[in-house]
Amino acid sequence: MNPFAYSRPTDVDGALRQVAANGSADAPLASTPGPTAPPDLAPAANAATPAAANQYEVRFVAGGTNLLDLLKEGVLVAPKLVDINRLPFDRIEETPDGGLLLGALARNADTAYHPLVKERYPLLADAILAGASPQLRNMASNGGNLLQRTRCYYFYDVATPCNKRTPGSGCSAIGGVTRQHAILGTSEHCIATHPSDMCVALAALEAVVHVQSVRGKREIAFAEFHRLPGDRPDIDTTLAPDELITHIALPPALQFAGHSAYLKLRERLSYAFALASVAAALDLADDGTIRTSRIALGGVAHKPWRRPDAEALLQGQRPSPELFARVAEALLAGAVGRGSNDFKIALARNAIVRALQVAANGTVTNWNVSTPDLGGQQ
Ligand SMILES: Cc1cc2nc3c(=O)[nH]c(=O)nc-3n(C[C@H](O)[C@H](O)[C@H](O)COP(=O)(O)OP(=O)(O)OC[C@H]3O[C@@H](n4cnc5c(N)ncnc54)[C@H](O)[C@@H]3O)c2cc1C
Ligand code: SF4
């Protein structure tokens, strides 16, 4: 591990002043559309090109569960670490509109088991509990979860070319082992996936990321927070180099609480990243028809994947396996395999249908002792 300077400020301004050394992007880099990305993912016309994300002078450290591995492996170098664990962002609070404000430093475990998260956002609680291990969830922070790096094997292997780690060096995954890699929104420069489970639920719940820097505060819609790789795969998000995530806001979503499901498919039952995952939430009318829906996919793209046009197919319809299969096709339109991940297209298709069926039958949680009637559709 390279030597680094370490500080542990207790005030927000002090922390922000230190990270200001990274500079700022006047207009943060926009989400870059892949070949199949829907129109709402189009980049802003004034998208700027910030410095390579792996060369920041100063880095925040929260739980350290991803950053320390990257530093130890030599994937990143950080001459200066600013430990943010003393900053006042570890609370989970109600908002007047019935939503919640999740502190960036609240731990993943505390978030998943918070009574209001379980009651109002069981989809989020389930997604968090599907990730990592109890020990990691006790340490991992909400802000850090959003910024965890890809699990592409080549990214972590400094002996191999990787455009995300070393821009311009090439992509070892293209033509290499791709079992975990993306099938949607890829570019010729990178086919990595975003590894978070929590973020898939946050995408479906249309969370808003609150950030702060010495320049002020701003809010980033979750759909705009993570990027597709385009020609800058080294940059994962639209967060500027000098910005701190302070909170994640959850808009009211009680209409989905009774019919949501997070389905994660992986190589083993726990402690593995998703090959494909689905966050599905349905708002059902009294007559059983679907009023609105949200579906986000994990493990298939460089960011949680949504297609509003696919979700619109459900509106006003009665749940059925045939309808869910049509939605799956629309969500996966343009999906392309790269050899050893070809199987992901069928896997994701089946997972979408299954998650929608489970959601239609009622929310199944990891913490309920009673088993709901699944109507024989499992
Ligand atoms: C063995 C293993 C298995 C795992 N399995 C899963 C899994 O199945 N599913 C899953 O979703 N995750 C999984 N994870 C990832 C884990 O969830 C993340 O490592 C964790 O959420 C990162 O949070 P952290 O607080 O430890 O972040 P850190 O490691 O402290 O930081 C990560 C990055 O975020 C930045 N950062 C942190 N907080 C802020 C902030 N508030 N503002 C700005 N920048 C910030 C840091 O500078 C750093 O760049 C696994 C991790 C490990 C080690
Ligand atoms: S897929 Fe992306 S992260 Fe993996 S080797 Fe290629 S450029 Fe690097």
CA 19, distance to chain mean position in Å, is: 23
pLDDT given for residue 271 in this prediction: 86
CB 201 within 8 A of CB 274: no
Domain boundaries, position 328: 88-361
- Token pair listed for 327: 């939605």
| Distance between Cα 144 and ligand 1 center (Å) | 4
19 is a domain residue:
no
58 is a domain residue:
no
Pocket test for ligand 1, best of 22, 60, 108 (most atoms within 8 A of CB): 60
pLDDT given for residue 146 in this prediction: 98
| Distance between Cα 366 and ligand 1 center (Å) | 22
CB of 172 within 6 A of ligand 2: the answer is yes
CB of 199 within 6 A of ligand 1: the answer is no
CB of 164 within 6 A of ligand 2: the answer is yes
| Distance between Cα 277 and ligand 2 center (Å) | 20
Atom of ligand 2 lying closest to residue 165 CA: 8
How many other β-carbons are positioned within 10 Å of the β-carbon of residue 242?
Answer: 22
Helices vs strands, H then E, count in the chain: 14, 11
Residues 6+ apart with CB under 8 A from 57: 21, 22, 78, 79, 80
230 is a domain residue:
yes
Atom of ligand 1 lying closest to residue 196 CA: 11
Give residue for tokens 């402690």.
271
pLDDT given for residue 52 in this prediction: 61
pLDDT given for residue 36 in this prediction: 37
6 is a domain residue:
no
Which pTM value belongs to this model? 0.93
Residue 90 three-state SS: coil
- Give me the DSSP letters along 6-24: EE--SSHHHHHHHHGGG--
44 is a domain residue:
no
| Distance between Cα 233 and ligand 2 center (Å) | 8
Q: How far apart are CA 1 and CA 70, in angstroms?
A: 9
Atom of ligand 2 lying closest to residue 176 CA: 5
Atom of ligand 1 lying closest to residue 69 CA: 53
Phi-psi region of 154 (alpha: psi -120 to 50; beta: other; left: phi over 0): alpha
Q: How many domains does the chain have?
A: 1
76 is a domain residue:
no
DSSP letter at 190 equals: B
Pocket test for ligand 1, best of 4, 61, 244 (most atoms within 8 A of CB): 61
Nearest to 28 by CA among 42, 49, 45: 49
CB 196 within 8 A of CB 222: no
Strand partners for 172? none
What is the chain's pLDDT, residue by residue, as a tens digit (378 residues)?
788 999 999 999 999 999 998 988 654 444 443 333 333 333 333 333 445 667 788 999 999 999 999 999 999 988 999 999 999 999 999 999 999 999 999 999 999 999 999 999 999 999 999 999 999 999 999 999 999 999 999 999 999 999 999 999 999 999 999 999 999 999 999 999 999 999 999 999 999 999 999 999 999 999 999 999 999 999 999 999 999 999 999 999 999 999 999 999 999 888 899 999 999 999 999 999 999 999 999 999 999 999 999 999 999 999 999 999 999 999 999 999 999 999 999 999 999 999 999 999 999 875 554 444 433 332
216-221 sheet: strands from edge to edge: 92-94, 100-103, 244-250, 208-213, 216-221
83 is a domain residue:
no
18 is a domain residue:
no
CA 182, distance to chain mean position in Å, is: 14
CB 204 within 8 A of CB 223: no
Rg (CA), the chain: 20
Q: How far apart are CA 141 and CA 104, in angstroms?
A: 6
CB of 76 within 6 A of ligand 2: the answer is no
- Token pair listed for 58: 């100063």
Q: What is the CATH number of the domain that holds 170?
A: 3.30.465.10
pLDDT given for residue 56 in this prediction: 84
Atom of ligand 2 lying closest to residue 189 CA: 7
Which uninterrupted H or E stretch holds 211? Answer: strand 208-213
Which residue has the CA at smallest separation from atom 53 of ligand 1?
65
